[in-house]
Structure 1
């Protein structure tokens, strides 16, 4: 009987407790990327009411009409991996690191390509462009955060 209890205590001692900020970061990024997925569907399905609510003009409608496949792949990968990564974080799995990395890289590629080849700054405007750059930096930061948690043994 004592051996079983000692095994449970040892197992409990070896498990690293999830820090409070893990929950904050996970929920924050779920919120961010849930909104991102909503935006993704509204933009690509050309929801006129959504465009009007954001005060987007005809240039934005044209920008997302016949959106190139390469950009669509990066966009899709970013928003879905961006949502999956914080969910995995809440389950404390090491897969979080890989999925957050894929999200960050796909977003970086998307932004580099759209700024270089789609005139993103002029079409979407400075506010949206700067907001997206801030999201990119936060997504990269989230990857490094997840990697640090994995190195500390919080993610298994």
Structure 2
């Protein structure tokens, strides 16, 4: 049986919060890929935004998949206190940064004012992914993750 008394309280807080944050990414991934335009339109996307998304090259699904599912796996592995969380979060960072770079090179067409926050979301996602990778690495170095 695992000795939970040596686990700092913040591991549980970061693990739960990251799982909640990343679970939304998983939900968005599944809904986008199963409901397509219906989901995107219901999310408030305009037709030019939907067209932009639909024109995304097929190869971009690889970093998107790594980003989303690496983050979810990392959160679960962090809660299980396993060192593999570092590797999973590293995949997530690779996916997030690749998506960010693609978005910078191929900007989304004019966002309506009420969706201006979407312009910053790739940066926020990459920053959170980088923080989670650093955190898992730090917890691994301290011996919290096995």
Q: CA deviation at 1:31?
A: 0.7
Which segments of 5 or more consecutive residues in structure 2 lack a partner in the other structure? Answer: none
Q: Number of matched residues? A: 141
Where do 4+ consecutive residues of structure 1 move more than 6 Å? Answer: none
1:97 aligns with 2:86: yes
- 1:130 — aligned with what? 120
Under a length normalisation based on structure 1, what TM-score does the superposition of the two structures give? 0.81
* 1:42-73 Cα distance to aligned partner (Å, 9 max, x none): 2233141x333322110121122243122111
- 1:149 — aligned with what? 139
Instruction: From the CA coordinates, give the structure whose radius of gyration is larger.
Output: 1
Q: Summarize the Cα distance change of 1:91–1:58 in structure 2 as closer, same or farther, 3 Å threshold.
A: same
When structure 1 is superposed on structure 2, of 90-99 and 59-68 the one drifting more is: 59-68
Under a length normalisation based on structure 2, what TM-score does the superposition of the two structures give? 0.86
Residues in 2 aligned to 1:20 and 1:148: alpha-carbon distance in whole angstroms = 15
Which segments of 5 or more consecutive residues in structure 1 lack a partner in the other structure? Answer: 1-11
1:76 aligns with 2:65: yes
